[in-house]
Structure 1
Amino acid sequence: MPAKAPRRDDGPGSGPRIAAGPDGFVPDGYSAGDRPGLGARLVAAKLLSAIIDARTSADGLLDASGGHPGFRALESRDQGLVKAIILSALRFRGTIARALDACLDRPVPPNAVALKHILHVGATQILFLDVPDSAAVDLAVAAANVDSRSQRFAGMINAVLRRLSREKEALASVATATENMPEWLAARLVAAYGAERTEAIARAHLTPAPLDLTVKRDPEGWAETLSGTVLANGTVRLGSFDGPVTALAGFAEGEWWVQDAAAALPARLFGDLSGKRVADLCAAPGGKTAQLILAGGAVTALDINANRMKRLKGNLARLSLEAETVVGDLAAFVPAEPFDAILLDAPCSSTGTIRRHPDVPYTKDPDEIGKLAGVQARLLGEAARLLAPGGRLVFSNCSLDPAEGEAIVAAFLAERPEMVRDPVRPDELPGMEFALTAEGDLRTTPDMMGGAGPAGTASTGGLDGFYAARLKRI
């Protein structure tokens, strides 16, 4: 099972009844002090609804400064509990649903959406978090009594969760990791990778990703300082880490930045960039920009979003690195002269980052993948327009879906005879040759490097899913 949240001893308690807001959940300004632990459970149910029903990003909801008002109103300890509930509820959504179904005498009414979220919040604590079962059950019942839509189900919630508590040893086991993927995602991955490989990928998704750092220099030294290990590509891996990265040695001095080992690979495909004009398109938040600068390139970083560009500038300032920055649409970008090297890390569905963002399968769908593939194809064509003869273009993204990777490049090369694939050689990625395809592209999946251990167990391995193709103008 995943690392458990700090033990909470919220008891049954007592206190005034809280009137539900117009959406049936706790008002945004509700103070958890009225009944210990209840506010956190109400907010968790509300945010789970926003993710599942409204397809809202969990990152935005769980941001301590700009997130959901109900979340921001909680004390830091309760915020930590809400995060633990949400992330585990999403990672193990299929297993939790199966366990609840086993404890129900009859199916939950289809329109009882709020009830389902209350049950999932309670079941998540019982099955996967270090929370007393009695508190999880009692506060789920209290949450139902707050919500006018679920009050009549309070008795059923009590019975179901108590049965789940009694039978959790049998019900908490993951039957298949793929049961925790929505059907649409599992079907697409099976078509691309086969059933066995999809199960391995799904198993990797059940384990939170390690903390990876790209360092400016001396990875061995920083690995020793931070009690990490150095991967084959020079990434320093710290394994699981729950504290603020800003408190780690070297952060304030700008000696490193957070970047998954797989995300660090595309920029390395250019080799030495000394004396070359380099463009990083869709550049924010700037990790790859920093890599290109350190490789010796004179870098122009472009991004269409002004706020994201502010973040990039802030990151480069902390790292004491400089690049020309441009805010604007790639289609309207006209540089003074073509670039020798271009990195296009295109916007995508982010299905390669589910270990870090378990909400992705529930906030994306096949239609969005199709739309994003169209955007990627357009951006690739625009990027090629900026490339000098003999120059290299690396197209990459963090999607597991070939529709956003291999298919984009194949269609592009079929239409652009002046562009050819520049295959990556195994000697260019020593120790990570396993990530190369037969065509010489880069393709990583979460099950690589020890990322597909027994479901839910702790792991210091794995990679984000990434695709990259290196192309050349002839």
Structure 2
Amino acid sequence: MPPQRFALPTEAPGLAARRIAADILDGVLHKHRTLDEQLDGPAAHPALKSLSDRDRALMRRLVATILRRLGTLGHVLSRLLDRGIPTDAPRAQSALLIGAAQILWMDVPDHAAVDLSVRLVQSDRRAAKYAGLVNAVLRRCAREGQPLIDEVKSKNLDVAPWLLARWSAHYGEATASDIATAIGQEPSLDITVKSDSEQWATRLHGETLPTGSVRTLLQGSVTMLPGFSEGQWWVQDAAAALPARLFGDLADKNIVDLCAAPGGKTAQLVHGKARVTAVDRSPARMARLRDNLARLSLDAKFAVADGAEWLGQNHGEGFDGILIDAPCTSTGTIRRHPDIGWLRQESDIAPLAAAQKRLLQRAVAALQPGGMLVYCTCSLEPEEGELAISEFLKSEAEMQRLPIGAEEVAGLSEIVTAEGDLRTLPCHFPHQDPRLGGLDGFYAARLVRRH
């Protein structure tokens, strides 16, 4: 009698994606690791390579949805749990968040969301005892979750309280609430094209924004989209594409791009016919910048160095222009990087503002008389934008502001401040389809050296 053959047990479809999502959530919420480092590069989650493209996309959407709705999820789960979310088993917490997010906001059948979260808990030694609890709570979530959301202004719950307080104080409560709503939306894909934006908008099933960027809702790997491998465009938020344009005519000008990686602004400057030196302190990020420019058939000089130190070593060079895309809290990019809102603390602002001040001070001596300095940050915090430039101009008699005109930004006067600086907010660019609205929060100022 031939030996019996037993089929090996197979893992439930989608469980691997949810297990990796749970690991990455734990990395953000408990180990203070960014999404970027966990999703890409040498420190990325080792099991990511084993996922299919579909499961990888599911995992990313799961994590992003949870981080965008973390405050609301906390509210709902706290109402459904008599004793609060278990703190002795991170996997149980992750399973509850993953299950509830799918039930409330994703196109996943409730029974599948519950079943896979229970399996996720059962596969973890410390969390297995909570399998029954997870099952019961998520079943209640399917019945009672939406009414619990409706009873509160959930959009404000999904912003860290210290950030909401700061935005309310600086922009007003109504605008702060609009920002909270905007960053709760999954963002579209924005690209900067070399030419013929209307043609690329048609090919990519998108639309051309007033500023010239193309916006599309296409999903999946960008490397598979038309024009990517041919180097016809690059991914860049519409707001991030504005600062480099403030230089005006770039032809044959000697421009330094500080803190340049991943290279969207460098590509703009080179494409505008400038002679560009791209400076970034990270060898890995600089390697990515080189790869991006190579794909785009664009060329620049490269320097792996601290920006302030590099400027100190090159003072008196007489550059025509310097673009400082300064390191900052990045609170303007939470719609694209939802981990930022939970990883940053208010105490981060002061040391970053000090680094920004150092870059600004060092840039003065490296500019030629009449040379232009464009300073920008992807932060909504005034200490990293409006206040930083106000203080800098008070201390540097050599520099003066060259106000930005609304005509330079497609007539969009709402993104130009009374002082003549650029200030975009996530709630700008409203659209009847919320998925096609919004942009990153950016600040930019254009300054000129007098003598």
TM-score by length of 1: 0.87
Q: What amino acid sits opposite 2:442 in the alignment?
A: F
Corresponding residue of 1:289: 266
2:140 to 139, 163, 170: 163
Write the letter of the residue equivalent to 1:469. A
Q: 2:320 aligns with which of 309, 327, 340?
A: 340
Q: Deviations over 1:321-366 (max 9, x none)?
A: 2222222223333347211111111111211111111111112111
Which residue pairs with 1:149 in the alignment?
126
* SS in structure 2 at match of 1:34: coil
Query: 2:166 aligns to what SS in structure 1?
Result: helix
Higher relative contact order (CA closer than 8 Å, sequence separation 6+): 1
Higher helix share: 2
Q: 1:298 to 1:38 in 2, by over 3 A?
A: closer
Corresponding residue SS for 1:469: strand
Match of 1:263, SS?
A: coil
Aligned to 2:160: 182
Q: Which residue in 1 is equivalent to 2:3?
A: none
Q: For residue 265 of structure 1, report the CA deviation from its aligned partner.
A: 0.5
SS at structure 2 position matched to 1:130:
coil
Aligned runs of 1:201-220 on 2, under 5 Å? 201-220=179-198
C-alpha separation in 1, matches of 2:413 and 2:223: 33
Kindly tell me: are residues 93 and 387 of structure 1, through their superposed partners in 2, closer, same or farther at Cα, counting changes over 3 Å? same
Q: What aligned pairs does 1:16-55 form with structure 2 within 5 A after superposition? A: 33-55=10-32
Moved more, 48-57 or 150-159: 150-159
Offset of residue 15 of structure 1: 8.7
After the TM superposition, which of the residue ranges 37-46 and 430-439 deviates more from structure 2? 37-46
Q: Tell me which residue corresponds to 1:101.
A: 78
From 234, 244, 247, the counterpart of 1:257: 234
Instruction: Give, in angstroms, the shift of residue 276 of structure 1.
Output: 2.1
How many angstroms apart in 2 are the aligned matches of 1:255 and 1:404? 33
Aligned counterparts of 1:64 and 1:136: Cα–Cα separation in 2? 30
The answer to whether the 8 A contact 2:57-2:220 is kept is no
Which residue number in structure 2 is paired with residue 397 of structure 1? 377
How far apart, in 2, do the equivalents of 1:386 and 1:133 lie?
Answer: 60
Which of 430, 442, 451 is the matching residue for 1:450? 430
Conserved? CA contact 1:55–1:364, under 8 Å: no
Q: Distance in 1 between matches of 2:307 and 2:184?
A: 37
CA distance in 2, matches of 1:109, 1:324: 53
SS in 1 for 2:57: helix
Deviates more, 1:220-229 or 1:169-178: 169-178
1:459 pairs with 2:435: yes
Task: For residue 93 of structure 1, report the CA deviation from its aligned partner.
Answer: 0.9
SS state of the match for residue 369, structure 1?
helix
Which deviates more from structure 2 when the two are superposed, residues 243-252 or residues 86-95? 243-252
Q: Partners in 1 of 2:281 and 2:366 — Cα distance?
A: 16
CA distance in 2, matches of 1:45, 1:422: 49
My pick for the range that moved more, 274-283 or 140-149, is 140-149
Distance 1:50 1:394 in 2: 35
Q: Does 1:124 align with 2:106?
A: no
In terms of mean alpha carbon deviation, does 77-86 or 461-470 score higher? 77-86
Deviation at 1:125, TM superposition (A): 1.3
Superposition deviation, residue 129 in structure 1: 1.4
Residues 15/355 of structure 1: CA separation in 2 closer, same or farther (3 Å cut):
farther
Instruction: Quote the offset at 1:36 in angstroms.
Output: 3.6
Separation in 2 of the partners of 1:299 and 1:236? Answer: 25
Contact (CA 8 Å) 1:213, 1:256: kept in 2 or not?
A: yes
2:355 matched to 1:375?
yes
Q: Which of 385, 390, 398 is matched with 2:365 structurally?
A: 385
Distance in 2 between residues matched to 1:429 and 1:36, nearest whole Å: 48
Question: Using a 3 Å threshold, how does the CA distance of structure 1 residues 125 and 65 change in structure 2: closer, same or farther?
Answer: farther
Q: Is the 8 A contact 2:204 2:218 kept in 1?
A: no
2:377 and 2:198 mapped to 1: Cα distance? 28
Q: CA deviation at 1:112?
A: 5.0
Q: 1:113 offset after TM fit, Å? A: 4.1
Corresponding residue SS for 1:325 = strand
Q: Is the Cα contact below 8 Å between 1:353 and 1:465 reproduced in 2?
A: yes
| Residue 469, structure 1, aligned to residue 445, structure 2 | yes
Q: CA RMSD in A?
A: 2.2
Identity of aligned residues (%): 48
Alpha-carbon distance change, 152 to 381 in structure 1, aligned in 2, over 3 angstroms: same
CA distance, structure 2, for counterparts of residue 76 and residue 109 of structure 1:
32
Q: Counterpart of 1:407 in 2: which secondary structure?
A: helix
What is the CA distance between 1:307 and its match in structure 2? Answer: 2.1
1:414 matched to 2:394: yes
Q: Conserved in 1, the CA contact under 8 Å of 2:279 and 2:302?
A: yes
Deviation of the 1:175 alpha carbon:
2.5
SS of alignment partner, residue 355 of structure 1: coil
Structure 2: how far apart are the matches of 1:109 and 1:250? 48
Distance apart, 1:111 and its partner CA: 4.6
Distance, in Å, in 1 between the alignment partners of 2:204 and 2:52 is: 29
Checking the alignment, whether the CA contact within 8 Å between 2:205 and 2:218 is kept in structure 1 is: no
SS at match of 1:167: helix
Is the contact made by 2:368 and 2:449 (CA closer than 8 Å) also made in structure 1?
yes
Alpha-carbon deviations, 1:232-268, whole Å to 9, x = none? 2211222x22122222222222121111111011011
Gaps in structure 2 of 5+ consecutive residues? 1-6
1:101–1:438 Cα change, 3 Å: same
Q: Does 1:90 align with 2:67?
A: yes
Give 5+ residue unaligned stretches, structure 1: 1-13, 17-32
Instruction: Name the structure 2 match of 1:232.
Output: 210
- 8 Å contact kept, 1:71–1:79: yes
1:439 aligns with 2:416: no
Pick aligned residue for 1:191 from 169, 175, 182: 169
Q: Which amino acid is 2:419 matched to?
A: E
What secondary structure does 1:289 align onto?
helix
Q: TM-score, normalised by structure 2?
A: 0.91
SS in structure 2 at match of 1:443: strand
SS in 2 for 1:53: helix
Does the Cα contact within 8 Å between 2:87 and 2:93 map onto a contact in 1? no
Cα–Cα, structure 1 residues 434 and 122, in superposed 2: closer, same or farther, change >3 Å? Answer: same
Q: In 2, are the aligned partners of 1:15 and 1:35 still within 8 Å (CA)? A: no
Shift of 1:104: 1.9
1:60 positional shift: 2.4
